[in-house]
Structure 1
């Protein structure tokens, strides 16, 4: 079946994600069924299939799907999400250097979406890589602009941690 209304299709995918009664295997099966409506090589279909496997703890199955989705071309927001999710998958697989490189490249893209989310996963990856001080610096730098008070102080402390 061909998708004629992408927004309606996405709403059905979102409903699967929101259904907490589904097991991981049921979620994968439903996402896969919806993904076939777009086609096996459609970047959004690949992204959703990867996410279903990733959330089920099947990182090794998710990784190539994320990579293909990114290669096939996603809009800026989905590309940022796919990069974050791929980096998280790589972190869970112990490939922290690759994860950090992906996150850094996405952060440096012009107009990169989801900057705070990128920072959060960079901090997690740095902690997993054995660099907790730098992880705290990244997290504080992302958090500081959202503070009611002490933004300048927290930014200063974050910079100090990064320089040590």
Structure 2
């Protein structure tokens, strides 16, 4: 059987692992490769690249369209409720755990009708911290034990001389 490599990111870990599976392996084998503790694996879901819904655990990787070097995500949450604050605006938007920080930012700035120029001068920062996750981090990797996340949209700090 042909092998495929997958980039795997899982709940509570920003680390991206490269795993190798048979193309005809069932989706549930991704969960076994995820590194989640045994008691969490039973409730885990697998999301494909930008997938809105979990993949069928009994279907083969090939049958659900997962291909070589695709990025996948394993998480107990089916959706993450993301609260975003900017000045006096607060919005809650739901995303699948496989959504990237960049996708969350784009949806929020679109919703508040921020100009493209202004949007490039702002980043998402986790609430009550100075942690600014990379734009390609999947939001499910930022949650652990709950299905909620909070960001502030803040200006990028620039040093002017």
TM-score by length of 1: 0.30
Q: Which of the two has greater strand per residue? A: 2
> Which structure's CA Rg is the greater one?
1
TM-score by length of 2: 0.30
Higher normalized contact order (CA 8 Å, seq sep 6+, divided by chain length): 2
Q: Which of the two has greater helix per residue? A: 1
